[in-house]
Amino acid sequence: MLGVPATPTAAPRRDIATRLAGSALLARLPAPVRTPFAVNNLIYFSGNLFAGLAGFAFQDLLAGALGADQFAEVATLISIFYLIQVALFVAMAAAARYTAPLAARGEHEAVSRAYRDLTVYAETVGFAGMFVFILLSPLIKSFLHMPGLGPLIALSATVPLTLLVGVGRGVVQGEERFVPLSLNFIVYGFTTLVFLPVLLGFHLHAVGAVLAINLALVLCNLAAALALRNLPRGSHHPRLHIGRVLRSSIGATAGIAAITVFYNGDVLFAKHFLSTGAAGRYSAMSLLGKILFFGTISVSAVMFPRVAALHAEGKSALKLVDLSLGLVLAIGGAITAVYWLFPRIVIVVLLRHKDFLDIAPYIGIFGLAMLGLALANVLVYYFIAVHRRRFVFGILVGAVAFVGLLGYRHADLGEFTTSVTAAIDLMAVVLVAIYIHDRRSIEARYASAATLAEG
């Protein structure tokens, strides 16, 4: 584990999930619902659900107030921010994967030192990235046909802020403190939603949306620091070398970047290929699709640190991964069915604007794309946790299909949507095939080890 000393220290955290799982409050529930895994899922899901609903309301109210044409610019900025969040998710995965085994062994001083060093590295890389983003802003403006540079310059501040949020959330996740992690998401969603009346009242629109995001990120950093304030000081531990972290994060970067591009890059391609009105309608449909994706993301978030810890201990995590895939399939399948059966009702209830009724024939198809992406997300995080990079092949297949199909089939909203869906679901199928192959080899290895132990 990257040369980390194995000196256990007293654990400062309170395992709320374990206490709740064994409490009288949940005693009458079925046993699978009372496990720490299930309780942590519920805790994380609650915070992430609030943040997701707040984010949806934030964009939904803007879409309703601005209409398809004006909303297209705001949706484009938000999509660029989601792409910038690749850095957040990579930093979060790297921090969680590094600290989860340490926390499981009670080495909280080493966790503290890692948190401090990763924060310094994130600040350095983040400000360099901010400078590069500002230099590229004129090219981004031209490619996306945006009216001005102001919103992009404001958006550049999210680069260092997202890296810092990723480190803080990753360490909290590695420590399996899902209550403060859930609260961190709530802080983000609450802040953006509270800022909305100011944004609309002063007609800030694009710039105001970016300012709301920046403020929310600052508060998330403070919330993470507060959650980790009682970690024991680890100054005597050796400094965490950035080279080791970067090398161990290559696979995580590829996987998480691909997942993020798949659920946000399509909006940018839509802005480039489609008319302004069609791009705005596709952005609204993408917003509906994110309900499915973010509604299942808690499963991979709770699974990830447990799989990393089990792998570090030499134990199999296959049952946990299978359970996670089953949960995503059940939840995501139910949402997709609603999109197929009641598309106009979904649009009327959630978007509340006549401009978006044209997407009714396509939201069921797009639901299949987000279901495939949610399953792919679970598998990507599994492969990252167990340090396997063969999943990159599945990502490459999906990326080639994504660019190729959109390059040739983007004439209208229907062609564009089916191209996106085909590319994402192809990636999901390849990743499932890789996982099945990987699963069989692991099962054979454990069976062989068990036979030798009996002999």
C-beta separation of 54 from 192 below 8 A = yes
Indicate the average pLDDT of the chain: 80
pLDDT score, position 2 = 40
pLDDT score, position 11 = 42
pLDDT score, position 242 = 65
Backbone angles phi, psi at 148, to 5 degrees: -155, 170
Highest mean pLDDT: which of 66-70, 147-151, 327-331?
A: 327-331
pLDDT score, position 365 = 93
Examine the pLDDT at 6 and tell me if it is beyond 50. no
Highest mean pLDDT: which of 7-16, 237-246, 275-284?
A: 275-284
Give CA–CA dist 248/252, Å, rounded: 8
Tell how far CA 337 is from the center of its chain: 23
What lies within 8 Å, CB to CB, of 48 at 6+ separation is 182, 185, 294, 297, 298, 301
Query: What is the mean pLDDT of the segment spanning 238-264?
Result: 70
pLDDT score, position 193 = 83
Is residue 449 packed enough to be buried (19+ CB in 10 Å), middle (13-18) or exposed (0-12)? Answer: exposed
Query: What is the mean pLDDT of the segment spanning 336-344?
Result: 92
Examine the pLDDT at 5 and tell me if it is beyond 50. no
Percent of the chain with pLDDT over 70: 81
Examine the pLDDT at 8 and tell me if it is beyond 60. no
HEC profile of 11-75:
CCCCCHHHHHHCCHHHCCCCHHHHCHHHHHHHHHHHHHHHHHHHHHHHHHHHHHHHHHHHHHHHH
C-beta separation of 304 from 255 below 8 A = no
**Which two three-digit tokens encode residue 424?**
């994402």
Query: What is the mean pLDDT of the segment spanning 409-437?
Result: 90
Q: Which amino acid, 14?
A: R
**Nearest 10 degrees: Cα torsion 30, 34, 35, 39:** 130
Q: What is the per-residue pLDDT across 122-139, written as a single tens digit (0 to 9) for each?
A: 999 999 999 999 999 898
Give CA–CA dist 146/291, Å, rounded: 27
C-beta separation of 15 from 23 below 8 A = no
pTM of the predicted model, to two decimals? 0.67
Q: Out of 41-55, 244-258, 265-279, 338-352, which region has the weakest mean confidence (pLDDT)?
A: 244-258
Examine the pLDDT at 12 and tell me if it is beyond 60. no
Give CA–CA dist 279/285, Å, rounded: 10
pLDDT score, position 397 = 92
pLDDT score, position 24 = 57
Q: Out of 166-175, 240-249, 317-326, 430-439, which region has the weakest mean confidence (pLDDT)?
A: 240-249
Grade residue 226 by pLDDT with cuts at 50, 70 and 90.
very high
Q: Out of 5-14, 20-29, 324-333, which region has the weakest mean confidence (pLDDT)?
A: 5-14
Kindly state the DSSP code that residue 181 receives in the 8-state scheme: H
Query: What is the mean pLDDT of the segment spanning 263-267?
Result: 75
- Give residue 394's region: left, alpha or beta (phi > 0; psi -120 to 50): alpha
**Which two three-digit tokens encode residue 43?**
């805790």
**Which two three-digit tokens encode residue 420?**
């996106």
Grade residue 145 by pLDDT with cuts at 50, 70 and 90.
confident
Dihedral sign for Cα atoms in the order 226, 227, 230, 234? negative
The CA-based angle 304-309-311, given to 5 degrees, is 95
Examine the pLDDT at 245 and tell me if it is beyond 70. no
Q: Out of 6-10, 76-80, 272-276, which region has the weakest mean confidence (pLDDT)?
A: 6-10
Residue ranges of domains in the chain: 30-454
Grade residue 332 by pLDDT with cuts at 50, 70 and 90.
very high
Residue (of 122, 373, 98, 104) closest to 252 by Cα position? 98
Residue (of 117, 99, 116, 95) closest to 108 by Cα position? 99
Backbone angles phi, psi at 106, to 5 degrees: 80, 15
Grade residue 454 by pLDDT with cuts at 50, 70 and 90.
low
Q: Out of 11-15, 45-49, 315-319, which region has the weakest mean confidence (pLDDT)?
A: 11-15
Give CA–CA dist 373/318, Å, rounded: 20
pLDDT score, position 337 = 95
C-beta separation of 401 from 427 below 8 A = yes
Examine the pLDDT at 7 and tell me if it is beyond 50. no
Q: What is the DSSP string of 267-288?
A: HHHHHHHS-HHHHHHHHHHHHH
Q: What is the per-residue pLDDT across 22-55, written as a single tens digit (0 to 9) for each?
A: 555 555 555 555 566 667 777 877 787 788 778 7
Query: Which ranges constitute the DSSP H helices of 313-390?
Result: 318-341, 343-350, 363-385
Helices (H) and strands (E) in the chain, counts: 15, 0
Distances (CA, A) of 80 to 86, 152, 179, 210, 328: 10, 9, 29, 11, 26
What is the maximal distance between C-alpha atoms in the chain?
Answer: 76
Q: Which helix (H) or strand (E) holds 214?
A: helix 205-227
pLDDT score, position 438 = 85
pLDDT score, position 74 = 76
Q: What is the DSSP string of 116-173?
A: HHHHHHHHHHHHHHHHHHHHHHHHHHHHTT-S-SHHHHHHTTHHHHHHHHHHHHHHHH
Using the structure block, give the residue that is written with the tokens 């995965």. Answer: 93
Dihedral sign for Cα atoms in the order 60, 64, 69, 74? negative
